[in-house]
Amino acid sequence: MKSEETIKEHDGESNEVDSEEKDKGEEIEVDEEDLPSGAAAIHEQIREDGQKELERDGMALLWSAIAAGLSMGASLMAKGIFQVHLEGVPGGFLLENLGYTFGFVIVIMARQQLFTENTVTAVLPIMHKPTAGNFALLLRLWGLVLLGNMIGTAIAALAFSQMPIFDDATRQAFTHISEKVMENSPGEMFANAVISGWIIATMVWMFPYAESAKIVVIILMTWLVALGDLAHIVVGSVEVFYLVFTGAASWHEFLWPFAVPTLLGNITGGTLIFALISHAQIRNDMSNDKKQKTSSRKKTASKQ
C-alpha cells in the first residue's frame, strides 16, 4: 500500500507539463535581453503563466472558475443599470456598454479563472511541446474552468431573476440585453465569437508589458467587445441563463443557438487563430537563436 507522501508525489507528477526546460532542470527564460525579440519575451512570459495554470490543483481551478462566473454577473448588472439611467441621454449607448467591462475587471484583477483567457495562456505550452500528457492537462484545465464558469454564471443569473434585488425597469433592461444576444443565428454567433476570442487573446498578449496600465487595457479591449455586440461564452451565459430562469428561453435554446457556436467561436478566435499566429511569429526567431547559442558554446569549447 502506497504511503501518503508517495501518493502526493505521484499526483504532483501527473500535473507536470512536459517541456524542454523541465527536462533540463531549468526555468523558462523571459528576459528580453536574452531573447531574440520583444515578441519572444512576451510569448515566453505567457507560456510560463500557462504552464503554471496547467499544473494547478483541480479543485483550486474549479472554485476560482466558479468565482469568476459569479463575478461576470457584474457585467449584466452594470449594463442593465446604465441602460435604465441613461435612457434618452446622447451617447448613452457608449456609456451603457462600458458596464460590460465591470465583470472582466473584477475577474482579471482578482486573478480568477476565465475560460477565454486560458484558450491562449494554456495552449502555448502545448504548442511548444505537443505531447499526449500536455494535451490531457489542457483538456482538464478547459473542462474544469468552463464547468466552474457555467456554475457561477448560472448562480448569478438565478439570483438576478429570483431575488428581490432590482426594480422592474432594471429587470426589463436585463431581459432586453439578453434577448439581443439571442437575435443572432448560430452562424452569426460563431462569427461574432471568433472576433471576440481574438480580441480577448490580444488583451492577454498585452498584459506582460501593460504594468500599471493593465486595468486600462482590460476596459478598452472588453469595451470594444461590447460595442461590437460580439459573443462571449461566459458573459453571454449570464444573459441567456437569465432568460432561461425567467422562462423567456428554454435550456435547448441555451445550448443552441447560443452556447455551442459561441464556445467554438471563442476557441477558434483565441486559440486556433491568434495563438497559432503568435507562436508562428517567434518560432523561427527562437530556433535560430538556439542554433546560434549552441554554435557559440561549441566554438568556446573547441578553443579551450
Got the DSSP string for 261-282?
Answer: HHHHHHHIIIIIIIIHHHHHHH
Q: Identify the pLDDT of residue 11.
A: 44
Q: Are the CB atoms for 47 and 72 separated by under 8 Å?
A: no
Looking at the domain assignment, is residue 289 inside a domain? Answer: no
Looking at the domain assignment, is residue 4 inside a domain? Answer: no
Q: Identify the pLDDT of residue 48.
A: 86
**Minimal CA–CA distance to 53: which of 130, 120, 129?**
120
Looking at the domain assignment, is residue 290 inside a domain? Answer: no
Looking at the domain assignment, is residue 159 inside a domain? Answer: yes
E strands of 189-268, at which residues?
A: none
Q: Identify the pLDDT of residue 47.
A: 86
Q: What CATH number does the domain containing 78 carry?
A: 1.20.1080.10
Looking at the domain assignment, is residue 9 inside a domain? Answer: no
Cell of 286: 527562437
Looking at the domain assignment, is residue 298 inside a domain? Answer: no
Length of the chain, in residues: 304
Looking at the domain assignment, is residue 76 inside a domain? Answer: yes
Question: In a structure prediction context, what are the per-residue pLDDT tens digits for the chain, which is 304 residues long?
Answer: 444 444 344 444 468 887 766 655 556 655 555 555 667 778 788 888 889 999 999 999 999 999 999 999 999 999 999 999 999 899 899 999 999 999 999 999 999 999 988 777 888 888 888 899 999 999 999 999 999 999 999 999 999 999 999 999 999 999 999 999 999 999 999 999 999 999 999 999 899 888 889 999 999 999 999 999 999 999 999 999 999 999 999 999 999 999 999 999 999 998 877 777 776 777 666 555 554 544 455 455 555 5
pTM comes to 0.86
The residue range of the domain holding 152 is 36-280
Place of cell 508517495: 6
Q: How far apart are CA 214 and CA 279, in angstroms?
A: 22
As for how many domains the chain has, the answer is 1
Looking at the domain assignment, is residue 299 inside a domain? Answer: no
